Amino acid sequence: QVQLVESGGGLVQAGGSLRLSCAASGRTFSSSRMGWFRQAPGKEREFVAAITWSGSSTSYADSVKGRFTISRDGAKNTVYLQMNSLKPEDTAVYYCAAGPGSGPGSGWVTADYAYWGQGTQVTVSS
């Protein structure tokens, strides 16, 4: 089992920045990849960014590329999502996830992750 706890969400004006954190505990050595997803009201959960547990590879959704950065601190078992130049359309509940799941392994779909945090709200005002 892997437990994930997100923090760092809040209310920010458009153009501002936030940094989300995801603290992992439990059998973290079994995780191959960590990811961030988000879900806005009435919409499906969508991929935001992912990083391999080694930190050697990252990937991003086109909508956040160049604005968001995913990183990890192995000593703290923590993954971060630095979000800059925030837009109102970034408003959503952001979820941290740990793999591996039963999906194809790209890291871009929810099925690639077996464990999920409780989510943290990010609201960007215009």
Chain segment 73-82, per-residue pLDDT in tens:
988 999 999 9
Contacts of 29 (CB under 8 A, 6+ apart): none
Cβ–Cβ under 8 Å, residues 111 and 105: no
pLDDT value of residue 30: 63
Contact status, residue 49 vs residue 62, Cβ threshold 8 Å: no
* DSSP 8-state code for residue 53: T
Q: Quote the percentage of the chain above a pLDDT of 90.
A: 78
Q: Are 51 and 108 in contact (CB under 8 A)?
A: no
pLDDT at 66: 97
pLDDT of residue 16: 98
Rg of the chain over all Cα atoms, to the nearest angstrom: 13
pLDDT value of residue 102: 84
Q: Which amino acid would we find at residue 27?
A: R
Residue 24 Cα to chain centre, angstroms: 12
Percent of the chain with pLDDT over 70: 98
pLDDT, tens digit (0-9, with 9 covering 90-100), for 4-48: 999 999 999 999 999 999 999 987 766 779 999 999 999 999 999
Q: How far apart are the first and last CA of the chain?
A: 40
